[in-house]
Structure 1
Amino acid sequence: MPTVTWSRLGGERRSAVVDAAEAEFAAHGFSGGSLNVIARRAGVAKGSLFQYFADKRDLYAYITDVGSQRVRAYMEYQIHELEPDRPFFEFLTDLLDVWVAYFADHPRDRALHAASSFEVDTDARVSVRAVVHRHYLEVLRPLVHAARTRGDLRPDADIDALLSLLLMLMPHLALAPYVRGMDPVLGLDELSSEQPILVVRRYVAVLSAAFGSTNTSHRTTTIAQGEAHG
C-alpha cells in the first residue's frame, strides 16, 4: 500500500510516477522493470520511490491496481449498457466481445495484463494476481449469482467452478489474440478480426452446456452453431 507521503504528494507528481511505472512494468514486467528508469522518467530521485512505497513489489501491486481499476470502470459501464438482466449467456457473449475489443484498443493495459499473467517471480505474481482477481470477482460474482436467481443456471450449477473458469478464460481472451502461440487449438492469434468473435461463442456454448438451464443451454448452443456456420 502507498505510504502517507504518497497521499500527500501533488497530483501531477503522482501521475508522473504512475505513468512511468506503468510504461516500465508493461514493457518489462516486475522482474525486468527498473526502478532507476521509473524514477528518471518520473523526474524523481530513486530514493523518493521508497518514501512512497515499501518496496518494488508494493509499487508493482499498486500499479496493477490502478490499471485494474481503469479496466473495471470501463467494463462496469459496458455491463450497464449491455443490460445484464437478460439471459446470462447471451449477455456473457456480448460482454466477452467487448472485453476482447478493449484490449485490442488499449495496448498498455494489455501489456500490464500480460506482465501480471506471465511474471516469473512467484511472490510478485501472487501479489498482483490477488489484486486482479479481486476486481474480477467483485464484478463477476454478483452477475453469476443474479443469473442463478433468474433461473439461467441449473439449480445444481457449481457457481464457484463457473467463476474459476471465467478467471482463467478472461485473461486468456485478453491476450491470446495478440500473443502468438498462446492458443494453438482455436487459432486465436490468426490474423482475422472475426476469429476472436467466433471463439467467444464457442467458449460460451461450452459454459452454457455445462452450467446453463436446459432452455438456456439449448438456445446458446444453437446460436453459436449458427454463427459459426454463417
Structure 2
Amino acid sequence: MPTVTWSRLNADRRAAVLAAAEAEFAAHGFSGGSLNVIARRAGVAKGSLFQYFADKRDLYAHITDVGSQRVRRYMEDQIQLLDPARPFFEFLTDLLDVWVAYFAEHPRDRALHAAASFEVDTDARVSVRAVVHRHYLEVLRPLVIGARTRGDLRAEADNEALLSLLLMILPHLALAPYVRGMDPVLGLDELSPEQPALVVRRYVAVLAAAFAPQPQHTATIGGEQS
C-alpha cells in the first residue's frame, strides 16, 4: 500500500509517478522494470519512490491495482448497459465480446495484464495476481450468484468451479490474440477479425453445456407422450 507521504503528494506528481511506473512495468514487467527509469521519467529522485512505497513490489502491486480499477470501472459500466438480468449465457457472450474489444483498443492495459500474468518472480506474481483476482471476483461473483438465483444455472452447478473457469478464460481472451503460441488450438494466435468472437461462442457453449439447466425430455410410450 502507498505510504502517507504518497497521499500527501500533489496530484501532478502522483500522476507523473503512476504514468512512468505503468509505462516501465508494462514494457518490462516487475523483474525487468527499473526504478531508476521510473524516477527519471517521473522527475523525482529514486529515493523518493521509497518514501511513497515500501519497496519495488509494493509499487508494482499499486500500479496493478490502479490498472485493474480502470478496467473494472469500464466493465461495470458495460455490464449495466448489457443488462445482467438477461439469460446468463446470452449476457456472458456479449460481456466477453466487450472484454475482448477493450483489450484490443487499450494496449497499455493489455501490456500490464500480460506483465501480471507472465511475471517470473514468484513473490511479485503472487502479489499482483491477488490484486487482479480480487477485482475479477468482486465483479463476477455477484453475476454468478444472480444467475443461480434466477435459475440460469443448474441447481447442482458448482459456482466456484464456474468462477475458476472464468478466471482462466478472461485473461486468455485478453492476451492470446497478441501472444504467439498462447493458443494454438482455437486459432487465437493466427488472428482474423472474426476469430475472437467465434472463440467466445465456443467457450460459452462449453460453459452452458456444463452449467445451464438441461432441457426436460418427455418420455414416449408407443409413439405417445407419457
Question: TM-score range with shorter-chain normalisation?
Answer: over 0.9
Amino acid across the alignment from 1:122: T
Q: Secondary structure at the match of 2:157?
A: coil
Distance in 1 between the 2:46 and 2:6 partners?
14
C-alpha deviations, 1:45-75, integer Å up to 9, x for none? 0000000000000000000000000000000
Distance in 2 between the 1:109 and 1:151 partners?
35
Larger Rg, first or second structure (1 or 2): 2
Distance in 1 between the 2:82 and 2:178 partners?
25
Is residue 18 from structure 1 mapped to residue 18 from structure 2 by the alignment? yes
Alpha-carbon distance, 1:213 to partner: 1.0
Is residue 161 from structure 1 mapped to residue 186 from structure 2 by the alignment? no
Distance in 2 between the 1:55 and 1:185 partners?
40
Is residue 151 from structure 1 mapped to residue 169 from structure 2 by the alignment? no
Aligned residues: 215
In the alignment, what sits opposite 2:111? 111
Alpha-carbon distance, 1:160 to partner: 0.2
In the alignment, what sits opposite 2:222? none
Alpha-carbon distance, 1:191 to partner: 2.9
Distance in 1 between the 2:55 and 2:212 partners?
45
Is residue 50 from structure 1 mapped to residue 41 from structure 2 by the alignment? no
In the alignment, what sits opposite 1:205? 205
In the alignment, what sits opposite 1:128? 128
Q: Secondary structure at the match of 2:44?
A: coil
Amino acid across the alignment from 1:147: A
Distance in 2 between the 1:181 and 1:62 partners?
30
**Superposition RMSD in Å:** 0.5
Distance in 2 between the 1:113 and 1:153 partners?
30
In the alignment, what sits opposite 1:172? 172
Is residue 85 from structure 1 mapped to residue 85 from structure 2 by the alignment? yes
Q: Secondary structure at the match of 2:177?
A: coil
Distance in 1 between the 2:141 and 2:203 partners?
19
Alpha-carbon distance, 1:156 to partner: 0.2
Distance in 2 between the 1:193 and 1:47 partners?
47
- Runs of 4+ residues over 2 Å off in structure 1: none
Amino acid across the alignment from 2:118: F
Distance in 2 between the 1:35 and 1:56 partners?
7
Instruction: State percent identity of aligned pairs.
Output: 86
Distance in 2 between the 1:101 and 1:193 partners?
11
In the alignment, what sits opposite 2:191? 191
Alpha-carbon distance, 1:146 to partner: 0.2
Unaligned runs of 5+ in 1: 216-230
Alpha-carbon distance, 1:76 to partner: 0.2
Alpha-carbon distance, 1:169 to partner: 0.5
Amino acid across the alignment from 1:116: A
Distance in 1 between the 2:36 and 2:63 partners?
16
Q: Report the TM-score, using the length of structure 1 for normalisation.
A: 0.93
In the alignment, what sits opposite 1:59? 59
Alpha-carbon distance, 1:193 to partner: 1.0
In the alignment, what sits opposite 1:228? none
Distance in 1 between the 2:50 and 2:183 partners?
40
C-alpha deviations, 1:197-230, integer Å up to 9, x for none? 0000000000000011124xxxxxxxxxxxxxxx
Unaligned runs of 5+ in 2: 216-226
In the alignment, what sits opposite 2:35? 35
Alpha-carbon distance, 1:139 to partner: 0.2
Q: Report the TM-score, using the length of structure 2 for normalisation.
A: 0.95
In the alignment, what sits opposite 2:139? 139
Q: Secondary structure at the match of 2:178?
A: coil
In the alignment, what sits opposite 2:6? 6
Alpha-carbon distance, 1:190 to partner: 1.7
